A and B are shown apart, each in its own frame.
Chain A
């Protein structure tokens, strides 16, 4: 997985634009060879393309728009228009679904890969990437520029349908060191320690954990981790493989009970089920010490840098792995989260737009300069050969531990909602929301979700 790839970071890397141009020049010079493997436009077509992104904090948002501006300047006649959908991933998914159904979709669109992207591919709405103007669709030369595991969630039928645009995104605890120190607590390493901390902090009107679960996806991270710590990776792999009654695994029941224990013990702040994480409210709870920590994807470091850089740079912020469950079968170093995020390419665009989209994606996202900018914004890039950038960064104290966690993780589970696709993910998170509200028992959850397992 990512660990293996990170350990194999090599120095070999070419700028994909240079590579594409070199190949193009070669083919133009030797038409016979070109005809056998690839073809190229005689003159580079120009076009205007739309690129849809999801808000990742002001710094990353600006990075994307700056890249588009630079590309436009370097490619007269081309225009890359970046639109950023604010806050809610649900809002973006709805907007994207509608757009892909029309004849005027965005050329490039933000994607989490996995089941949802696969749905688009099966419907013929997303096409594989090639090098601009070449016929190597599905295996562009820039794949060598990324850690190979980063392309897993966007590789279908051995073809690559997405290019990584952000850093690796394991889900970790982000905690306020000042709050824990105030009550003489260390970051909890086990679930019993965590429950003990809950009681100590509750006695001082402080929540151990900040949570914004109105749209239910944040709560899913707890189920993912508890289930893995209890039963190991096979728990979810059986669910994903559509095996009958796979939700009846004792690890799932136990994980759901653990969640309800946290709720009953007031581990989460009041109103955790009526706010959305995307509003920045939960981060604010941690900055202000109303909650000691929050479980979130590594993208939150970039968002914290945008919203409250002082909190990050002053060293108040701590990062820790999800605690272990004593006696659980899962490895304490297993990680949950998103491998990274991607842009995928729509099918219903002109050949000139495809050319420009491929040229833009390859020249921007696989470049060393982009990787350096990612590090500056608190991300651990998926671009091969970025380890030296992390060590040289002022954010080294955060980025290197994240890198190491990913490097030594024996298993990195892709987020369940993205892995399962929308038909199963929506009832899963909705019912999990009821478990968090104590209006549905673990047994009821298991029974309902088993109803979606159609395999044998």
Chain B
């Protein structure tokens, strides 16, 4: 009993000490909330509220200048029967797939190269990374100048060097324009992803390469069994940025083709812009915006689930 009473009395004695601790916790929580509030406020103002507003708008008709009218699910029914939207969705997915296929190996190769120790590496790196310094509009106009079939740089080479295959209607042929856009977008973004790969490669411990060399691994084997597995999360990060970025890609396509020729390069974001700002149907354009947002989130979650990226397991068990 004495023991029990001692315990009880001890508990009693401890209780007043616990109260200030929970108060401290509350203070810390308050401090956290206060610290986060500017971010939460901005996030709410510029992300949450617009998203909720877009969802609300998708059930209305609105031309910005006139009154807003509730139309229920009419805009959503229209989306499911609109061949223009389905086509835009298909073009978007094609652009996403092609962008990933082109950008990933190029960025990886370039990233591994600039992470190395070759002579003049930094000079080459500076040249390769040049597109990072240019604005998107500038890049689009520059390529417009290069590809113009009448006065463009390629047309000049075609004429003076008798390279007739260069004389194509690069931005106006339904069969090739989407691929040309993929190349231009890759030209713009490969340097950025190369930087990610460079950082990933530099984070791989030198000991792993030394061990591979001691084991007699060839260059290809070292890449296959050391570099590639160690870059696993770098690949996921870069892929997620490419995929989500391509889903909402707009500016270069808008400047170079405006979705043409015909609608062969009209991606969903451009279709949304045309529907909203040119056709002044902001209700239906909001449906397209919501579809894009849902698609982006779904793809990101899928990538995380498939790759185990969310668990963030160490790729280097046993190293340290």
Residues of A within 8 A of B (CB): 90, 93-94, 97-98, 100-101, 119-120, 122-123, 125, 214-216, 269-276, 281, 284-285, 290, 422-423, 426-427, 430, 433-434, 436-437, 439-440
Please tell me which stretch of B100-108, B169-177, B240-248 contacts chain A, meaning at least 4 of its Cβ atoms lie within 8 angstroms of it: B169-177
Provide the bound-state CA to CA distance between A275 and B281, in Å.
27
Residue of B nearest to A440 (CB): B262
Minimum distance in angstroms from A443 CB to a CB of chain B: 15
The listed residue with most B CB atoms (<10 A of its CB), out of A123, A214, A426, A440, is A214
Is A214's CB under 8 angstroms from B257's CB? yes
Count residues on chain B whose CB falls below 8 Å from chain A CBs: 35
Interface residues of B in 259-280 (CB under 8 A from A): 259-264, 274-275, 277-280
Query: B237 on the interface (CB 8 Å rule)?
Result: no
Query: B35 on the interface (CB 8 Å rule)?
Result: no
Is B65's CB under 8 angstroms from A426's CB? no
Contacts A123-B66, A125-B65: A94 and B263 contacting too (C-beta < 8 A)? no
Is A101's CB under 8 angstroms from B258's CB? no
Is A273's CB under 8 angstroms from B279's CB? no
Query: B148 on the interface (CB 8 Å rule)?
Result: yes
The listed residue with most B CB atoms (<10 A of its CB), out of A270, A274, A290, A430, is A274
Minimum distance in angstroms from A122 CB to a CB of chain B: 7
Residue from A125, A270, A272, A433 in contact with B262 in the complex, judged by beta carbons closer than 8 Å: A433
Query: B210 on the interface (CB 8 Å rule)?
Result: no
Provide the bound-state CA to CA distance between A275 and B249, in Å.
20
Is B150's CB under 8 angstroms from A271's CB? yes
Q: Is the interface of B mostly helix, strand, loop or mixed?
A: loop
Residue from A101, A125, A274, A436 in contact with B169 in the complex, judged by beta carbons closer than 8 Å: A274
Contacts A427-B279, A439-B174: A97 and B260 contacting too (C-beta < 8 A)? no
Q: Which residues of A lie under 8 Å from residue B111 when comparing CB positions? A: none
Residue from B167, B256, B278 in contact with A422 in the complex, judged by beta carbons closer than 8 Å: B278
Residue of B nearest to A279 (CB): B144
Is A97's CB under 8 angstroms from B277's CB? yes
Provide the bound-state CA to CA distance between A273 and B263, in Å.
11
Contacts A94-B278, A270-B150: A437 and B262 contacting too (C-beta < 8 A)? yes
Query: B149 on the interface (CB 8 Å rule)?
Result: yes
Query: B11 on the interface (CB 8 Å rule)?
Result: no
Tally the A-B contacts, defined by beta carbons under 8 Å. 102
Residue from B64, B144, B149, B279 in contact with A270 in the complex, judged by beta carbons closer than 8 Å: B149
Residue from B151, B258, B263 in contact with A215 in the complex, judged by beta carbons closer than 8 Å: B258
Q: Which residues of A lie under 8 Å from residue B262 when comparing CB positions? A: 433-434, 436-437, 439-440
Contacts A122-B66, A269-B150, A290-B150: A214 and B260 contacting too (C-beta < 8 A)? yes
Q: Which residues of B lie under 8 Å from residue A125 when comparing CB positions? A: 65
Provide the bound-state CA to CA distance between A243 and B171, in Å.
37
Query: B63 on the interface (CB 8 Å rule)?
Result: yes
Contacts A119-B63, A271-B150: A439 and B278 contacting too (C-beta < 8 A)? no
Is A94's CB under 8 angstroms from B65's CB? no
Q: Which residues of A lie under 8 Å from residue B170 when comparing CB positions? A: 274
Residue from A93, A101, A273, A423 in contact with B281 in the complex, judged by beta carbons closer than 8 Å: A423
Is B66's CB under 8 angstroms from A119's CB? yes
Residue of B nearest to A207 (CB): B150
Contacts A270-B149, A274-B169: A430 and B66 contacting too (C-beta < 8 A)? no
Provide the bound-state CA to CA distance between A6 and B66, in Å.
37
Q: Which residues of B lie under 8 Å from residue A433 when comparing CB positions? A: 260-263
Is A430's CB under 8 angstroms from B150's CB? no
Residue of A nearest to B274 (CB): A426
Provide the bound-state CA to CA distance between A98 and B282, in Å.
12
Minimum distance in angstroms from B142 CB to a CB of chain A: 14
Minimum distance in angstroms from B274 CB to a CB of chain A: 6
Is A439's CB under 8 angstroms from B64's CB? no
Q: Which residues of A lie under 8 Å from residue B149 when comparing CB positions? A: 269-271, 274
Q: Which residues of B lie under 8 Å from residue A281 when comparing CB positions? A: 148, 150-151
Q: Which residues of B lie under 8 Å from residue A273 when comparing CB positions? A: 169, 172, 260-261
Known: A214-B257, A270-B167, A271-B171. 18 other contacts (CB 8 A): A90-B278, A97-B277, A98-B64, A119-B65, A119-B66, A125-B65, A270-B150, A270-B169, A271-B148, A271-B172, A272-B172, A281-B150, A284-B151, A290-B150, A430-B259, A430-B263, A439-B262, A440-B262
